[in-house]
């Protein structure tokens, strides 16, 4: 069990903000941290890892990471951390990156084999692709057999195929090492696939804490399809208005009434939904 | 011409290189923690330390030499301390010009190391801490190997700058043959006694060596960066 009860003053994107987090995390669970950028997700991970100071307390099982008397050094916390930018030791080969953490050749070979990196073990990081680097980074984080694995948007820079592959690897390591995993992610499908619980932060506070299904499924009432998007433009055509909305990588047009237009502003985050009496699915 | 070269006294050059080697070594040991501290801290004393470190670049060597001379003389507490404890006289001695050179060349060691450390990915260093490695292990195994160009620049430029120093050495060390008469001082003396042919040869050697050293640094760094 991890008990976190911390506060910290931050300088977010909208000026000063108070990070104020009070949360319990079950051992062995997989938690996704979501929220807009600047909401304090990364800071929370860094405080957990001991890379940043905070007020309050963090207890992991019987171990005290942080209380009024001080904070346990990152070296002593038994944490694995996967950075968004990989942060590999550039001067060491793939295998040396792992062995630098701990001289455990068996574990290193096992991790490299699972992630299909054995062939690349003598290569330097700068000769690897993004996906390969992030797998090395994941393996490195596991070399100390950590109790807690923290990942800061580990897959956001990778293409969809590579993401899927790494998601499976993360999940299998999560089970194999009985890790408590906390991952920052913006990708709903990734969160849905991996996490059992989603914690959503906004301006340093938890605004939602539930299962991925309850948090991510946007449909309300009888609506069956719902997509989040950004309103790009409203064009008046004769008597109707057409809203141009960006959803994912696509632009769509939706007819809106004059009444609705009054409540809309270009640039707003909106949700588009429809009832689906006879949905057609085409491949 | 041949006769002049064969009769040439190379002791000043040997002395210059000996002085530069020892100074570079001492400065490397002391500058490493200082440069690391400056690169990692946000403390309020940082600009003060940076300004102090950079001072020898702007001060005239005579000013630096004057203060070091006063500080090391037998009448000063430091001078007395060394005289009484080790029986070492710090002014007009080889030990004295080592101390003076360390002050004089300090910024040339600290600044490249500091900017090298600052250019490192902070996450990489943090990854090392989280792996359980201490700061010292992180500096030696992760930080230093990743700033090789800066490291080489710091060492070579400090060495070359110490070989090239003149004013400070002259003020603190004078010109005692085989003790403090380094190449630059020897050239100055040759010109004073109007022995231009020796001055020519000494100067040419200095130009060639300096050029080759710098050329080597740039070639090495160019290769390292294009790799």
Q: Give the CATH number of the domain where residue B207 resides.
A: 1.10.3720.10
3-state helix, strand, coil in chain A (%, to 5): 30, 35, 35
- The burial class, CB within 10 Å (0-12 / 13-18 / 19+), for B58 is exposed
Among residues 64-83 of chain A, which lie with CB inside 8 Å of chain B? Answer: 73-77, 79-81, 83
Q: Which domain range does residue B216 map to? A: 2-226
Going by pLDDT thresholds of 50, 70 and 90, the confidence category of residue A25 is very high
- Give the closest-approach CA distance of A76 to chain B in angstroms: 6
- The shortest CB-CB distance from A101 to any of B124, B131, B134 is to B131
A80 contacts B126? CB cut-off 8 A = no
Chain centroid, CA A139 distance in Å: 18
Going by pLDDT thresholds of 50, 70 and 90, the confidence category of residue A276 is low
Residues in chain B with pLDDT values less than 70: 1-2, 4, 227
User: ipTM of this predicted complex?
Assistant: 0.82
- The shortest CB-CB distance from B123 to any of A73, A85, A101 is to A85
- Per-residue pLDDT of A59-110, as tens digits, reads 999 999 999 999 999 999 989 999 999 999 999 999 999 999 999 999 999 9
CA–CA distances in Å: residue B114 to residues A279, B106, B120: 63, 12, 10
* Chain A residues whose beta carbon lies within 8 Å of the beta carbon of residue B145: 91
B21-47: b or e for each residue (b if 16 or more CB lie within 10 Å)? Answer: ebbbebbbeebbebbbebbbeeeeeee
B145 contacts A91? CB cut-off 8 A = yes
Q: What is the CATH number of domain A2-216?
A: 3.40.50.300
Question: What share of chain A in percent tops pLDDT 90?
Answer: 60
φ and ψ at residue A212, rounded to 5 degrees: -55, -40
- Evaluate if residue A223 carries a pLDDT over 70: no
Please check whether residue A154 is in contact with residue A140, taking contact to mean a CB–CB distance below 8 angstroms.
no
Structure tokens belonging to residue A111: 């991790």
Q: Which of A145-159, A245-259, B138-152 comes out lowest in average pLDDT?
A: A245-259
The span from the CA of A116 to the CA of A107, in Å, is 14
Q: Which of A122-136, A219-233, B100-114 comes out lowest in average pLDDT?
A: A219-233
- The burial class, CB within 10 Å (0-12 / 13-18 / 19+), for A281 is exposed
- Evaluate if residue A13 carries a pLDDT over 80: no
The span from the CA of A210 to the CA of A196, in Å, is 9
Look at A117 and B214; give whichever has higher pLDDT.
Answer: A117
- Per-residue pLDDT of B93-146, as tens digits, reads 999 999 999 999 999 999 999 999 999 999 999 999 999 999 999 999 999 999
Predicted pLDDT of residue A279:
61
Using DSSP, state whether A4 is helix, strand or coil. strand
Structure tokens belonging to residue B130: 């989280």
Going by pLDDT thresholds of 50, 70 and 90, the confidence category of residue A240 is confident
Among residues 86-145 of chain A, which lie with CB inside 8 Å of chain B? Answer: 87-91, 100-102, 137, 140, 143-144
Predicted pLDDT of residue B168:
93
CA–CA distances in Å: residue A251 to residues B88, B125, B176: 82, 42, 83
Please check whether residue A179 is in contact with residue A151, taking contact to mean a CB–CB distance below 8 angstroms.
no
Looking at the DSSP bridge assignments, the partners of residue A58 are A4, A66
* Chain A residues whose beta carbon lies within 8 Å of the beta carbon of residue B131: 100-102, 140, 143-144
Q: Which of A46-55, A118-127, B71-80, B146-155 comes out lowest in average pLDDT?
A: B71-80
Q: List the single residue in A with minimal CA-CA distance to B142.
A: A89
Please check whether residue B39 is in contact with residue B46, taking contact to mean a CB–CB distance below 8 angstroms.
no
Look at A260 and B108; give whichever has higher pLDDT.
Answer: B108
- The shortest CB-CB distance from B123 to any of A77, A80, A83 is to A83
- Give the closest-approach CA distance of B176 to chain A in angstroms: 47
* Chain B residues whose beta carbon lies within 8 Å of the beta carbon of residue A74: 126, 129-130
A85 contacts B130? CB cut-off 8 A = no
Q: What is the CATH number of domain A225-274?
A: 2.40.50.100
Element (H, E) at B167: helix B167-173
- The burial class, CB within 10 Å (0-12 / 13-18 / 19+), for A143 is buried
* Chain B residues whose beta carbon lies within 8 Å of the beta carbon of residue A143: 131
Predicted pLDDT of residue A280:
60
- The shortest CB-CB distance from B129 to any of A74, A100, A137 is to A74
Task: Select from B40, B130, B150 the residue whose CB has the most chain A CBs within 10 Å, as the one to mutate to test that interface.
Answer: B130
Q: Taking residues A183-198, report their average pLDDT.
A: 91
CA–CA distances in Å: residue A202 to residues A12, A13, A36, A214, A227: 11, 12, 7, 17, 20
What is the domain partition of chain A in residue ranges? 2-216, 225-274
Please check whether residue A33 is in contact with residue A185, taking contact to mean a CB–CB distance below 8 angstroms.
yes
Going by pLDDT thresholds of 50, 70 and 90, the confidence category of residue A146 is very high
Q: What is the phi-psi region of residue B92: left when phi exceeds 0, alpha when psi lies from -120 to 50, beta otherwise?
A: left
Predicted pLDDT of residue A221:
59
User: B1: Cβ–Cβ under 8 A, 6 or more apart, which residues?
Assistant: B197
């Amino acid at each position: 069990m991890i008990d976190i009860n911390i506060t910290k003053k931050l300088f977010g994107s909208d000026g000063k903000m108070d990070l104020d987090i009070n949360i319990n995390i079950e051992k062995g669970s997989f938690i996704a941290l979501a929220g807009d950028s600047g909401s304090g997700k990364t800071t929370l991970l860094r405080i957990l890892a001991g890379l940043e100071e905070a007020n309050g307390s963090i207890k992991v099982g019987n171990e005290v990471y942080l209380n009024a008397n001080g904070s346990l050094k990152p070296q002593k916390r038994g944490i694995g951390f996967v950075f968004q930018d990989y942060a590999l030791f550039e001067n060491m080969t793939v295998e040396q990156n792992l062995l630098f953490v701990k001289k455990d050749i068996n574990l290193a070979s096992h991790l490299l084999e699972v992630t299909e990196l054995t062939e690349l073990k003598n290569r330097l990081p700068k000769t690897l692709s993004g996906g390969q680097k992030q797998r090395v980074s994941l393996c490195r984080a596991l070399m100390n057999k950590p109790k807690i694995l923290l990942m800061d948007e580990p897959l956001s820079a990778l293409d969809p195929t590579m993401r899927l592959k790494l998601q499976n690897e993360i999940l299998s390591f999560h089970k194999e090492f009985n890790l408590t995993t906390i991952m920052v992610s913006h990708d709903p499908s990734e969160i849905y696939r991996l996490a059992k619980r989603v914690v959503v932060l906004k301006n340093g506070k938890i605004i939602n804490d539930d299962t991925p299904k309850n948090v991510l499924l946007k449909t309300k009432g009888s609506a069956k399809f719902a997509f989040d998007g950004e309103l790009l433009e409203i064009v008046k055509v004769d008597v109707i208005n057409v809203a141009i909305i960006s959803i994912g990588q696509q632009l769509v047009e939706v007819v809106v009434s004059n009444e609705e237009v009054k409540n809309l502003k270009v640039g707003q985050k909106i949700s588009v939904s429809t009832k689906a009496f006879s949905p057609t699915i085409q491949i | 011409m041949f006769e002049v070269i064969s009769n040439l006294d190379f002791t000043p050059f040997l002395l210059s290189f000996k002085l530069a080697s020892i100074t570079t070594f001492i400065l490397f040991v002391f500058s490493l923690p200082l440069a690391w501290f400056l690169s990692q801290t946000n403390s309020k004393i940082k600009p003060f330390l940076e300004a102090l470190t950079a001072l020898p670049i702007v001060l005239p060597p005579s000013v630096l030499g004057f203060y070091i001379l006063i500080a090391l003389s037998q009448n000063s507490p430091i001078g007395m301390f060394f005289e009484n404890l080790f029986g070492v006289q710090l002014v007009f001695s080889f030990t004295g010009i080592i101390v003076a050179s360390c002050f004089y060349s300090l910024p040339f060691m600290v600044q490249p190391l500091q900017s090298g450390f600052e250019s490192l990915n902070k996450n990489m260093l943090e990854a090392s801490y989280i792996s359980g490695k201490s700061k010292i292990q992180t500096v030696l195994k992760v930080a230093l190997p990743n700033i090789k160009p800066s490291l080489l620049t710091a060492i070579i430029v400090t060495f070359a700058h110490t070989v090239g120093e003149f004013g400070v050495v002259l003020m603190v060390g004078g010109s005692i043959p085989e003790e403090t008469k380094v190449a630059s001082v020897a050239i100055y003396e040759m010109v004073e006694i109007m022995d231009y042919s020796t001055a020519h040869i000494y100067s040419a050697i200095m130009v060639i060596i300096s050029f080759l050293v710098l050329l080597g640094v740039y070639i090495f760094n160019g290769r390292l960066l294009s790799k």
